[in-house]
Structure 1
């Protein structure tokens, strides 16, 4: 082999080595980029300070840490159960499969027209993650998703959950709000009263008096004013430690207007040390025009009866639906003591 051939061989070897090194670096970078594009779940949920969610219909919410439930939805206490579901999705969301080449255009169109944006931020407002969730797969076990700034969509899922995970993060209006109204600490209650405008002899006022409570009628009557044991009162107040309303119905203007012109069934007032008094103004809801046949006579019977309760809460700013089974144990009378 002459000198020229040896030099040419050396150049080829060195060139091949350089090409392999460059190709290895490019491959590693490509794999790293692909790995990042597949990372949807964010394990360090304690680092997340803000969650922004928006859909194509104009619904959006800013979730920030704080408040009695641990999170605020646009500045008001957020529903703790909804937040639990969202954090489970954020932490555990994982790629289930890669969509077929033919399916990608359809998936991209779905994400572009009906995708829901989720963005995560830390306490310094640095974006930690952002992605879109779309529709579900034909077998309803996966959800279409794509990371912000990435071209390739994926099918993602939450291990242990079947269905569209977007259902856990998409809510509207008052659905985001905390449903716990009473969060009473029985030991800190200074006064507690229930007024029954139509049943005056059942109405009462309890006021803390040393290690006891003083009981007196709400309206002037011949009923006695007397002291009652603190333990008995606190036993009732434990029912107020964590009370959920069933739903907010602030858009039901018809029933709100009717209630404002009607006499309430009960008005509950609770005053805790260092806190403003909380009030719940309660109205019964009856079924109407629900007819059935008497099984014995065949006669038509109106089944309209007590179906639920509604109440003004938060100083009258909110109109809430209450379950009969949960609110009735709270509505005791003077004769209970």
Structure 2
């Protein structure tokens, strides 16, 4: 009988403790909120704001040809995919040990990246700081805004440091796609080679959908027809073309290029779209030596607003000449 009463009393005490925890903002409910890093309903996320301690900021919003925009530009598709996977699935891997906790707090205080998620109405859905990786890079330090309790977080079924998905800077958030061309809508493609004038041409679509080829340097040569299949084969090279990266911070190279003749000038015009102008320059591995090994191309793109690095293997197929037809 005494044992039964003792068990009954213990059950009542546990019940009262559970009730107190659910009502106490500093209890279990608060702890649950402190651990809810992932926001699985990623379709509800309209804006993601990211800022680090060095003053770098990124505001990513839904919209544009890639589905998201960064600072008015189409956002990098792969970067957004990795970011949404992280904000949607991030979970607590474990509680830090008492020995780890002071180091994690210093890590987050000195180099934490602020991440805030908002819905379409501007309501904040989540807010937390992402720190560095733990030993072995198998987890990442994180702490909720206005919390004093750090955690080690991870992506289930994935190993690595989550910080890399958040710490892109500036143009790294931008889409690297330069051309997204529909060959059926191209009005003309023109390539000029300032140092090899005889290679320049203009491929132009006529009113009936056929193509004419004009020599760039020899205006006295009559335009000649180009088989539709040949023309579309050339234009298809511009359907899905990516730069390697933006190099807008390389002011020295930009200033040098502005005083040089480009190797090629490409003008591409699609129906109902502005003309795209790209000015391409070769980049040699040892430019001031007899060994002129071509390392890459650089180019002014987006109406000369951006300076970009282009890969040789993906750019050379674009650089055909008049004699290629």
Task: Give the stretch that moved more between structures: 228-237 or 125-134.
Answer: 228-237
CA contact under 8 A between 2:211 and 2:227: conserved in structure 1? yes
Q: Indicate the residue corresponding to 1:191 in structure 2.
A: 188
Q: Any stretches of 5+ residues in structure 1 without a counterpart?
A: 1-14, 292-301
- Is the counterpart of residue 92 in structure 1 residue 86 in structure 2? no
User: Considering only aligned residues, what root-mean-square deviation do their CA atoms show, in Å?
Assistant: 2.0
Q: Indicate the residue corresponding to 1:231 in structure 2.
A: 229
Q: Indicate the residue corresponding to 1:201 in structure 2.
A: 198
Q: Indicate the residue corresponding to 1:272 in structure 2.
A: 270
CA contact under 8 A between 2:198 and 2:218: conserved in structure 1? no
Task: Give the stretch that moved more between structures: 228-237 or 309-318.
Answer: 228-237
Q: Any stretches of 5+ residues in structure 2 without a counterpart?
A: 1-8
Give the alignment of 1:297-308 within 5 angstroms.
303-308=291-296
Task: Give the stretch that moved more between structures: 152-161 or 239-248.
Answer: 152-161
**2: distance between equivalents of 1:146 and 1:136?**
13
Pair 147,320 (structure 1): closer, same or farther in 2 beyond 3 Å: same
1:162 positional shift: 2.4
1:19 positional shift: 6.5
Q: Indicate the residue corresponding to 1:285 in structure 2.
A: 283
1:246 positional shift: 0.8
1:211 positional shift: 2.3
1:212 positional shift: 0.6
Give the alignment of 1:85-124 within 5 angstroms.
85-124=82-121
**2: distance between equivalents of 1:224 and 1:201?**
14
1:60 positional shift: 0.8
Give the alignment of 1:215-226 within 5 angstroms.
215-226=213-224
For the pair shown, the structure with the greater C-alpha radius of gyration is: 1
**2: distance between equivalents of 1:21 and 1:145?**
32
1:20 positional shift: 6.0
TM-score norm. by structure 2 comes to 0.91
1:21 positional shift: 5.3
Pair 246,306 (structure 1): closer, same or farther in 2 beyond 3 Å: same
How many residues align? The count is 313
For residue 169 of structure 1, the aligned residue among 142, 154, 166 is 166
Q: Indicate the residue corresponding to 1:32 in structure 2.
A: 29
For residue 140 of structure 2, the aligned residue among 139, 143, 150 is 143
CA contact under 8 A between 2:82 and 2:165: conserved in structure 1? yes
1:133 positional shift: 0.7
For residue 317 of structure 1, the aligned residue among 301, 305, 317 is 305
Q: Indicate the residue corresponding to 1:67 in structure 2.
A: 64
TM-score norm. by structure 1 comes to 0.88
- Is the counterpart of residue 23 in structure 1 residue 22 in structure 2? no
Q: 1:139 aligns to what SS in structure 2? A: helix
1:32 positional shift: 2.6
